[in-house]
Structure 1
Amino acid sequence: MPSPTPARRSRRTLLRVTATAAVAASLLAVPLPGASAAPSAGAVIAEVYGGGGNSGATLKNDFIELGNPSGAAFGLSGYSVQYLPGSPSASSQWGVTALSGSVAPGGRYLVAEAPGAGGTTDLPAADASGTLALSATSGTVALVNGTTALTCKTAADCAADPRIVDLVGFGTAVVREGSPVTGASNTASVARAAALADTDDNAKDLAAGDPTPTNTRGESAGGGTTTPPTTPPVPGDLRIHDIQGTTRVSPKNGQTVTNVPGVVTGVRAYGTKGFWIQDPNPDADPATSEGVFVYTSAAPTVKVGDSVLVTGKVSEYYPNSAGGSQSVTELTGPKTTVLSSGNPVPAPVVLDAANIPAAYAPDAAGGSIDALPLDPATYALDRYESLEGMNVQVADVPVVQATDKYNELWVDAVATDPRTARGGVVYLGYDQPNNGRIMVQSLPPLTQVPFPVANVGDRLTGATAGPLDYNQFGGYTIAANTLGAVQDNGLTPEVAEPGKKNELTIGTYNVENLDPGDGPEKFARLAQGVVTNLASPDIVALEEIQDDNGAVNDGTVGAATTVRTFVDAIKAAGGPAYDWRSIDPEDGKDGGEPGGNIRQVFLFDPARVSFTDIPGGTATTAVDVTGKNHKTSLTASPGRIDPGNEAWTSSRKPLVGQFEFKGKPVFVIANHFNSKGGDQGIDSRFQAPTRSSEVQRVKQATVEQAFVAKLLAADPKARIVSLGDFNDYQFSPALQTLTKDGVLRDLVNELPAEERYSYVYQGNSQVLDHILVSPALKPEKTHYDVVHINSEFAAQASDHDPQVVRIKP
């Protein structure tokens, strides 16, 4: 069943991956006598002249003229015209002239190129200018979506380059569509007929004749004005529901569609720039979405309420293909005609328990569900997919993940999803993904509409509405034009009960890549958490302590400065003067942030507990067990459990220490198992998703379970506490392996279900951190608490909540 993937996130832009394999395969399968891109639906190369200024020429300059046979304006921002000699050599390169503006429906666009020494007549005012020196008799001109020089030098290679919108080869050009058009000379251009037909055969589509350069204003070389033919802007044959289809992948994927009508419902001028359109006249099929995203790459110029016609190529974009994400059906390389403005947008579909199914996703035995017919009445994922790009709304919903630094939060639209004691939704099994979770982002700039700052348990009152998107970090997302108001639920950080004099208190805290470069504020906040919220435990196992220069990758592995800075901050906050023990890892061998060399560290209060130092513990030396019964001891303290085992490759090795409290030995194991990075997400297109990282955690749990079993074989009454960030759930195979044969007991299972969480990811409150104890520490001797101070709050010192256990040894 689905599995969240709570790996730390980076906002690096991911490559836009589109489903074009079938198109590429078809190109390879068919012999290509010449370049054969799909016939152009927008602008085409209307005329090419390379004799400007040559002997006998009247015109002073070479030129390239574009024409637009469609009913939609063709925007040229980011486009170029490019030229290659007719018989290119190994050193030949494409020349580039960048374009701007647009070609009106039925209009022309003039690009002036290099002048010659002769000629008597200037070109009309050019719409763009370059310095390309075209051959009068043989060459290739391309209209390109982009301004980077092409590299193809054969007809087949150029046909396979999706950036090429149109291409004309003349004379004896090697690169051409079909056969090259002949007859170009110092006094003759090659030009299309007035209708600008494009069959992708240059010899059929163009012919030689007198040069007739014409600009966007209809001005010609003789100073007169021509009236360009006009094509009424009317809708094409396809509607958005035809493009979206009844599966996740469009039946028109890879095809160019013309004049698709819709009303603009949302505009995004940041990140993945573009706009959404929706057909106000839906069909009767609930599986076909009426909305689609138009990817513009630059900030869109349309406005919400514009009625538009869009011509573009249908594409399936996978925001996180490696993680198995759903795809977003898009129109790319768009040409947009605005017919009218100020139109009402389609009413939003309300998302709530009445229309979000109880089942989450169809099961494809781990395979892709892309090709399965959508069943929005049965599966929540299918319901969301059937609304992709459409206006949706949630109303009066609880916040289940706090506002983050990227101005995102999560809400839950299904009241029956199991709630935490503090207002979130709790994740209790792979088969219980909590179907009502949905991310909220803001469409308007934050300078116009500040994003709400909310904690878990707050409510967004009123309506939150906008197009339904899907993004690389959060799955299905409302790109909100309208944001609800925050109703503060008054959530406050928890405070643990202090230990009694006869109780040993042991805590664990993932301090999130702590190093001296984080500055005093973070150290102070983390220290306050230890002193105030955890009540200064006698022992604290820390995870993610970085080396002394953090992510600088220069071979530094020591962390004395990092730890001393933290210990000093704890003392300044009123805490004890902690002593500490750790083992420096080998450089670059323990995973985490490159150069950071994260490790676990024991802090302990020497006024309350003593550490039994036993020499011999190193980064590569395996700790063992010696002695029997009450004389059982470690062979090194601190030590690392089997650090050479392949289970710990690129991952933290458990740190074990031997302590003494009131004359009784206590063995503490600090853990940080490998992360969930690389797992397919809970909302993956692969169902059930594969949790590939789980394999290594099970191996790690197997190694540690064997070590604990060896300790217990030596002394069945051994007091053992294993704790830390295990990066897995209480119901996972890794934790089941770790507790095998009853060697350890996972204390989180003794909490009420609504309190079982230490981390919040994609709106799910879940367990990643654990404290486990050996059989000698019976339930009546242990008092356990997850202390919620971070994961539910917009302001966090770490992304994990700490935990503490009070023990009567």
Structure 2
Amino acid sequence: MSSKSSARLVALAVAVCSAAAATQMTVLTTPAHADSVRIHDIQGTTRISPYAGRQVTDVAGIVTGVRGYGSTRGFWMQDPNPDNDPATSEGVFVFTSSTPTVTVGDAVTVTGTVSEYVPGGTSSGNQSITEITKPTVTVVSSGNPVPAPVVIGAESVPAAYAPAGDPAAKGSVNGLPLRPSTYALDYYESLEGMNVQVADARVVTASNPYSELWVTVKPDENRSPRGGTVYGSYDSQNTGRLQVESLGPVADFPVANVGDTLAGPTTGPLDYNQFGGYTLVANRIGTLKSGGLQRETTRKQSPGELAVATYNVENLDPSDATFDAHAAAIVHNLRSPDIVSLEEIQDNNGAVDDGTVDASVTVTKLIDAIVAAGGPRYDWRGVDPADKQDGGEPGGNIRQVFLFNSQRVSFTDRPGGDSITAAGVTKVRGKAALTVSPGRINPAGDAWKSSRKPLAGEFVFRGRTVIVIANHFASKGGDQGLTSQYQPPARGSEVQRHLQAAEVNSFVKDILKAEKNADVVVLGDMNDFEFSGTAKILEGGGELWSAIKSLPRGERYSYVYQGNAQVLDQILISPSIRRGGGFEYDSVHINAEFHDQISDHDPQVLRFRP
């Protein structure tokens, strides 16, 4: 230790609260000299520290949490003597790179360089974390009380989500003064690195394999009947959502479903990470209280109803252990629909990248499991993709496949459909028909580059033709998150989905030109919301309508992401089906809300009378 550091240690006074006065603050004082800096000085009143890139000396604080794992090892410390500015955080993360030697309750001084670290890199658009890096850490005393946590609750988090970004900074909010009483993201940022607490918080995203879950501190905010928080528009981001992970052993992390509650306090430093934004890194987690959530079962279709379903089975290949579970879901929860569009069927050897594109082993294994579960022996149709042309997991060659119960519905085979041949629309005996069935929509078009091509097929139910188009649109990968520094965040991935939606809508227009009252069902994993531009383009001038909008708003979801229950999977219907008024829609919640999900998507079922 240098003589300079020794002198500063002598000058550092730590007043520790006694047990009788536990509510008092621990007081840290630093020498009165021109270059002394407190944590709130480092954090400043915007998202970027005024000291970024500069060295600071003997910054004092109490250790509130220690992270001794992963690539971001370090500790959080907090000044127990806050200033009077609610915009300035009193906590900061000290990045040590190796396992820290401090413990919670240590009074420390830190000398190092202030840095702004962007989880995921600057191209991600994420906000940055203010850190002290390359630190020299001195422990002054141990066993000190940790500063009392700031309680984050329904009343403290503003209803407005984020300010509009500065146009002069390409829409970034980084340079804007924090307004924690006005905007939720500003409020969370004003607590970055500080000890915080939520109490009796309801779980709104089930715990995942990475020991993370999401809670809400606003129990009435767009609540679904099953305990989730519904994302109903781009302007209702749901400000009460907060990610929780653990600083303790992974084995102690609660195994939770949506609707469960972390009863009592959950406490720890407030961090920001690449995969969830603001995150309570808990050194104390509330007791898990079950909400009793059960998987749903839809009703059986009547003899005169055609039941059509869409189900993303999440990269299903013959090596998976989920066939029996998927089969049970189709038979018992979906009640054996007449037609099932399956998304993410992989080829016969899954992720092995050897040129295999045939998926007959995968599909047959699922059909056999359905029979074993008491369901019908489905027939199936599909078109093998060209190797490595449809995106998804490398080597997997995912595609859509139709299952259909040949005892209830027949398939009209029209030869010639393959990976490169475009299906067209013609007339047969005055009715709309496909030129190839099964076939793909414009597979060479730019809209489908590195993405799944729509699968179109003709079915006949009780003498009535129904044209079904199965889709799996381009993913949202690469979009900026809701907690991005850019507000509103950019949704770059929707450019391709808009092109895809336009192609499918144009194809449906051709069908309706050939037969005004044709029954057309467009369904699948659209990777976009029912209120999105993608959905509006699909619906066009009334050629289609997303039938999930027939449900109450609180029931419109098929996927849960970062605490938001949202629509990704849709079934759209042509005017003849909608006009009939006899259709019924069900989003069957069996996966997305559960920690033991077999897919991250909930299947959708439509019943109607052609």
Shorter-chain TM-score: what band?
over 0.9
- Equivalent residue for 1:252, pick from 43, 51, 54: 51
Q: Which amino acid aligns with 1:780?
A: G
8 Å CA contact 1:72, 1:310 repeated in 2: no
Secondary structure, counterpart of 2:508 in structure 1: helix
Aligned position for 1:243: 42
Residue 454 of structure 1, CA deviation: 1.1
- Equivalent residue for 2:513, pick from 713, 719, 727: 713
Taking a change above 3 Å as real, the CA distance of residues 386 and 716 of structure 1, as seen in their structure-2 partners, is same
Aligned position for 1:651: 451
Within 5 Å, which residues of 2 pair with 1:342-353? Answer: 342-353=143-154
Matched, 1:406 2:243: no
Alpha-carbon separation, structure 1, partners of 2:114 and 2:366: 54
- Equivalent residue for 1:505, pick from 294, 302, 307: 307
Aligned position for 2:68: 269
Aligned position for 2:339: 539
Alpha-carbon separation, structure 1, partners of 2:224 and 2:4: 57
Secondary structure, counterpart of 1:384 in structure 2: helix
Deviations 1:647-703 (Å, cap 9, x if unpaired)? 111111100000111111110000000001111111110011111011111111011
Alpha-carbon separation, structure 2, partners of 1:268 and 1:374: 28
Secondary structure, counterpart of 1:376 in structure 2: coil
Aligned position for 1:71: 5
Matched, 1:567 2:371: no
Aligned position for 1:6: none
Gaps of 5+ in 2: 11-28
8 Å CA contact 1:514, 1:562 repeated in 2: yes
Matched, 1:603 2:603: no
Equivalent pairs: percent with the same residue? 60
Aligned position for 2:24: none
Matched, 1:724 2:524: yes
Aligned position for 1:586: 386
Aligned position for 2:123: 322
Taking a change above 3 Å as real, the CA distance of residues 606 and 70 of structure 1, as seen in their structure-2 partners, is farther
Q: Which amino acid aligns with 2:606?
A: V
Taking a change above 3 Å as real, the CA distance of residues 641 and 69 of structure 1, as seen in their structure-2 partners, is farther
Alpha-carbon separation, structure 2, partners of 1:379 and 1:581: 51
Deviations 1:354-397 (Å, cap 9, x if unpaired)? 11111111102561111111111111000000000001111111
Alpha-carbon separation, structure 1, partners of 2:241 and 2:403: 38
Aligned position for 2:159: 358
Residue 461 of structure 1, CA deviation: 0.9
Aligned position for 1:392: 196
Deviations 1:563-622 (Å, cap 9, x if unpaired)? 111111111111110111100111111111111110000001111111111101011111
8 Å CA contact 1:629, 1:716 repeated in 2: no
Taking a change above 3 Å as real, the CA distance of residues 313 and 629 of structure 1, as seen in their structure-2 partners, is farther
Residue 262 of structure 1, CA deviation: 0.2
Alpha-carbon separation, structure 1, partners of 2:454 and 2:244: 38
Deviations 1:253-310 (Å, cap 9, x if unpaired)? 1111111100000011112211100000111111110000011111111100000011
Within 5 Å, which residues of 2 pair with 1:149-188? Answer: none
Secondary structure, counterpart of 1:652 in structure 2: coil
Residue 753 of structure 1, CA deviation: 0.3
8 Å CA contact 2:310, 2:604 repeated in 1: yes
Alpha-carbon separation, structure 1, partners of 2:194 and 2:563: 22
Secondary structure, counterpart of 2:227 in structure 1: coil
8 Å CA contact 2:30, 2:36 repeated in 1: no
8 Å CA contact 1:515, 1:548 repeated in 2: yes
Secondary structure, counterpart of 1:396 in structure 2: strand
Within 5 Å, which residues of 2 pair with 1:292-311? Answer: 292-311=92-111
- Equivalent residue for 2:267, pick from 457, 465, 470: 465
Matched, 1:673 2:607: no
8 Å CA contact 1:72, 1:259 repeated in 2: no
Residue 72 of structure 1, CA deviation: 7.2
Aligned position for 1:137: none
- Equivalent residue for 2:349, pick from 549, 552, 556: 549
RMSD over equivalenced CA pairs, Å: 1.7
Alpha-carbon separation, structure 1, partners of 2:342 and 2:297: 19
Secondary structure, counterpart of 1:342 in structure 2: coil
Secondary structure, counterpart of 2:541 in structure 1: helix
Residue 233 of structure 1, CA deviation: 9.5
Residue 70 of structure 1, CA deviation: 4.4
TM-score (norm 1): 0.71
Aligned position for 1:558: 358
Deviations 1:323-361 (Å, cap 9, x if unpaired)? 211111111111111010110011111111211111111
Aligned position for 1:312: 112
Aligned position for 1:142: none
Residue 631 of structure 1, CA deviation: 2.9
Aligned position for 1:742: 542
Matched, 1:376 2:180: yes
Residue 415 of structure 1, CA deviation: 3.0
Alpha-carbon separation, structure 2, partners of 1:644 and 1:398: 47
Aligned position for 1:795: 596
Alpha-carbon separation, structure 1, partners of 2:116 and 2:535: 38
Matched, 1:777 2:581: no
Q: Which amino acid aligns with 2:305?
A: E
Matched, 1:704 2:508: no
Secondary structure, counterpart of 1:477 in structure 2: strand
- Equivalent residue for 2:243, pick from 410, 422, 439: 439
Q: Which amino acid aligns with 1:338?
A: V
8 Å CA contact 1:509, 1:542 repeated in 2: yes
Q: Which amino acid aligns with 1:426?
A: V
Deviations 1:101-130 (Å, cap 9, x if unpaired)? xxx99xxxxxxxxxxxxxxxxxxxxxxxxx
Alpha-carbon separation, structure 2, partners of 1:359 and 1:257: 35
Taking a change above 3 Å as real, the CA distance of residues 72 and 472 of structure 1, as seen in their structure-2 partners, is farther
- Equivalent residue for 1:426, pick from 230, 246, 260: 230
Aligned position for 2:18: none
626-635 vs 590-599, which moves further: 626-635
Residue 242 of structure 1, CA deviation: 0.8
Gaps of 5+ in 1: 1-66, 74-103, 106-231
- Equivalent residue for 2:254, pick from 452, 458, 467: 452
Higher gyration radius (CA): 1
8 Å CA contact 1:512, 1:543 repeated in 2: yes
Aligned position for 1:417: 221
Alpha-carbon separation, structure 2, partners of 1:233 and 1:68: 17
Alpha-carbon separation, structure 1, partners of 2:487 and 2:571: 32
8 Å CA contact 2:55, 2:114 repeated in 1: yes
Deviations 1:136-184 (Å, cap 9, x if unpaired)? xxxxxxxxxxxxxxxxxxxxxxxxxxxxxxxxxxxxxxxxxxxxxxxxx
8 Å CA contact 1:72, 1:335 repeated in 2: no
